Chains A and B, each alone.
Chain A
Amino acid sequence: MYRYDEFDQTLINERAEQFRRQSARRLDGDINEDQFKPLRLMNGLYLQLHAYMLRVNVPYGCLSAHQLRRLAHIARRYDKGFGHFTTRQNIQFNWISLTDTPDIMTELAEVDMNTIQSSGNCVRNITADHYAGRARDEIEDPRVWCELLRQYSVLHPEFSYLPRKFKLALTGSPHDRAAVAVHDIGLRLHHDNQGRPGFEVIVGGGQGRTPVIGKTIRQWIEPRHVISYVEAILRVYNLYGRRDNIFKARIKILVNAIGIDKFRKLVDTEWEQIRDTGLQVSNTEFERINAHFLPPDYENLADQGDELAAKRTREPAFDAWMRSNVTGHKVPGYAIVNISLKAPGRIPGDISADKMEHVAALADQFSFGELRVNHRQNLTFVDVRQIDLYLLWEQLVALELATANIGLASDIIACPGLDYCALANARSIPIAQDISLHFANSGKLQQVGNLTINISGCMNACGHHHVGNIGILGVNKRGKEYFQLTLGGSADEHASLGIRLGRGLPRAEVPGAIERIVDTYLTIRQATETFLQTYRRIGIEPFREAVYGPVNVSRRVA
């Protein structure tokens, strides 16, 4: 993974020192909260319901065991002993004091980490496929480009006061695990018809109040031009994005208002002016960064066949974990292992400092000292020897980190909701806890198979409810919490937005409604259809009827 050299280190140190001076001016009363707010937000420090929350970037989800230990230390020393992994592959600390924040930034800088632009109307942490560089179906590893774009966007003098926040995601696989279609810019590495690698550029996707699937602005662009092309998009957006209404300020609104063809014309005209400038990525710079992403020293191993199969037969719990949490690796004899942070009844994405340290030790022992944070709020070891899988599983079981539910119904995305967030209308976490416990008790998890349930506590959609196979949106009606269900959302290469099922339900009715939806699917599915496939075949009506009862005959006639 990328390690800072003296230049990167100097910049991050200087930023930490700058914030130390800024917060001292705030604490001394030289500047007021209004003046301080934009400064702290550009450093990921939010004022939430009960305390400051600090969001730390995990660039494109890559984390070393050493860094994870530092995060554990921060959780223990400056927070209440835990952290929360987010859908932007970041980690948040929810109980931070302003006076400690400069020290935390210094401690992060010591391990090549920072909080720069994890908030604010600027380019946010860039996310990527958490299997990047390891997935069997990958065409090209996007991480070098992620790092180039990270450096390009950090403290960009022109683009630090955009109309609104700006999110980029990259993937190098045909199967999209990075939800690139619902980002301001999504970049998908693929090959053109002559076999040359290049990026498909998708623009104007997003969630929030106005969910939009992004549109392809360019089918293929040479990788060395990707930064100039992103700059052209950012400049057009900076100049023409709306600034009169923050709910209409994202790039998706601009793209929809003028249409993708006109938007493309503006971008291409701008791009022609800058494509052959210093923004071109030189081979030297590519190679310098690529050297940080070379594969580790894999052993010459064969895929494990019989022995692993025998263990799976003997141990059904191991077999269930293998089926849902472990996936193929591009190198023979190795596997990718997901560690679920979604044990039944627990808070999705939360992890204690003690567990962080245990996971760091396991990463050292089993996965070359590195891990990934994935956007579904779980952790991933990307380089595990297959002969170690059973041993790793046993150790994860002992740590209560072996929940076998990756991609299944209890692998729920949830935003922090009204338990923490100043914007929320409703609590997300208790709903996630109710549903995951419900599935744990019903024993239907494996039978139901792949199903994403995403929960947001307000229409800002941090819990990605629009792209959940089942989405749950918390709303507040006359002081009471209700939850609206949507069906049919998906964040993959066939991205789609969920359709609203019906009126909002009180919290107590949500698990039962989910159960009826799932039972309907089990009744009407054909062969090996997933929930989403069944939904796409037959539509929403049977599910609506299952939750709200049969449609009134007179209404049907009308």
Chain B
Amino acid sequence: MPLTNSHQNIIDPYIKIGPDDSLPAEGALLVTLAVWQDHWERLMRRQELIGVQLTSDEHPEIISDDIDQLDLIALEFPTFRDGRAYSYARLIRERYGFTGELRAVGDVLLEQLHYMERVGFNSFEVLSNDPATDFEIAANDFTVWYQTSGDQRRTATMLRQGKKNHG
């Protein structure tokens, strides 16, 4: 699946590992929660990049103690209508303090990229020939935001206040 961060199209360095796959000796791995839990000690010892992918039924609190060990957390959108991962993303960033790559995977639509970026996602798997261009379009639709959220953008209220303070 084509992948982009907030600047450019990227080649995914991670190998996806499900419960039926054997663990390769080398390489960056993106594992399911079951694999993470089953092979926790072995995976923690590896020096290479490691990520966990969660379904929308899997609350990230389960991995909150391991956050510092992870390079990537991928959250699945089983359908674009399932908005749980927006809340998960905020918890992962703002409450559990994750600073690595937070990836949106699954049914990810162009129009949602902006919301996803606002709650803390910084990479996106999009069914598109050029996801970076999609992101560029979606991210520039708006220049004003009412809400505080994971991306630290200044809200309309903060901008009003700043304007007042600086004449």
Contact code string B37-54 (vs A, CB < 8 Å = 1, else 0): 000000000000000000
* Known pairs A11-B144, A157-B147; A238 contacts B156 (CB<8 A): no
Q: Give the contacts of B149-166 with A (CB-CB under 8 A).
A: 149, 155-157, 159-161
Residues of chain B with a CB closer than 8 A to A155's CB: 115, 142, 145-147
Contact code string A268-284 (vs B, CB < 8 Å = 1, else 0): 00000100011100101
Instruction: For the complex, give the distance between the alpha carbons of A5 and B116 in Å.
Output: 27
The residue that A158 contacts in the complex, of B90, B144, B146, B156, with Cβ under 8 A, is B90
**B14 CB–A CB distance under 8 Å:** no
9-residue interface stretch from B63-71, B76-84, B98-106: B76-84
Minimum distance in angstroms from A148 CB to a CB of chain B: 10
Minimum distance in angstroms from B153 CB to a CB of chain A: 10
**B141 CB–A CB distance under 8 Å:** yes
Instruction: For the complex, give the distance between the alpha carbons of A151 and B161 in Å.
Output: 16
Contact B146 A159 (CB under 8 A): no
Contact B86 A157 (CB under 8 A): yes
Least CB separation from B85: chain A residue: A161
The residue that B111 contacts in the complex, of A7, A39, A277, with Cβ under 8 A, is A39
The residue that A7 contacts in the complex, of B80, B83, B95, B160, with Cβ under 8 A, is B160
The residue that A151 contacts in the complex, of B80, B115, B156, B159, with Cβ under 8 A, is B156
**A355 CB–B CB distance under 8 Å:** no
The residue that B95 contacts in the complex, of A5, A273, A278, with Cβ under 8 A, is A273
Interface of chain A, main secondary structure: helix
Residues of chain B with a CB closer than 8 A to A243's CB: 81-82, 84
**A38 CB–B CB distance under 8 Å:** yes
A interface residues, how many (CB within 8 angstroms): 38
**B119 CB–A CB distance under 8 Å:** yes
Instruction: For the complex, give the distance between the alpha carbons of A144 and B84 in Å.
Output: 30
Contact B115 A7 (CB under 8 A): no
Residues of chain A with a CB closer than 8 A to B156's CB: 7-8, 11, 151
Instruction: For the complex, give the distance between the alpha carbons of A15 and B111 in Å.
Output: 12
Contact A160 B160 (CB under 8 A): no
Instruction: For the complex, give the distance between the alpha carbons of A446 and B148 in Å.
Output: 53
Instruction: For the complex, give the distance between the alpha carbons of A17 and B87 in Å.
Output: 28
Residues of chain B with a CB closer than 8 A to A7's CB: 144, 156, 159-160
**B109 CB–A CB distance under 8 Å:** yes
Residues of chain B with a CB closer than 8 A to A273's CB: 95
Contact code string A219-239 (vs B, CB < 8 Å = 1, else 0): 000000000000000010011
Instruction: For the complex, give the distance between the alpha carbons of A279 and B59 in Å.
Output: 24
Contact B142 A161 (CB under 8 A): no
**A14 CB–B CB distance under 8 Å:** yes
**B22 CB–A CB distance under 8 Å:** no
Contact A161 B111 (CB under 8 A): no
Contact A35 B143 (CB under 8 A): no
**A520 CB–B CB distance under 8 Å:** no
Q: Give the contacts of A118-156 with B (CB-CB under 8 A).
A: 121, 151-152, 154-156
Minimum distance in angstroms from A112 CB to a CB of chain B: 15
Contact A288 B160 (CB under 8 A): yes
Residues of chain B with a CB closer than 8 A to A35's CB: 109
Instruction: For the complex, give the distance between the alpha carbons of A287 and B114 in Å.
Output: 31
**A22 CB–B CB distance under 8 Å:** yes
The 4 A-B residue pairs with the shortest CB-CB distance in the complex, in nearest-first order? A161-B83, A157-B118, A157-B115, A7-B156
* A to B CB contacts below 8 Å, 13 in the list: A5-B160, A8-B144, A8-B156, A11-B146, A14-B144, A22-B111, A157-B86, A157-B115, A161-B80, A239-B87, A243-B84, A278-B148, A288-B160
**A5-B160, A151-B146, A238-B87 known; 12 other A-B pairs, CB under 8 Å?**
A7-B144, A11-B145, A14-B141, A22-B111, A38-B109, A155-B142, A157-B114, A157-B115, A157-B118, A238-B83, A243-B82, A288-B160
Which chain B residues have a beta carbon within 8 Å of chain A's beta carbons? Answer: 59, 80-84, 86-88, 90, 95, 109, 111-112, 114-116, 118-119, 141-149, 155-157, 159-161
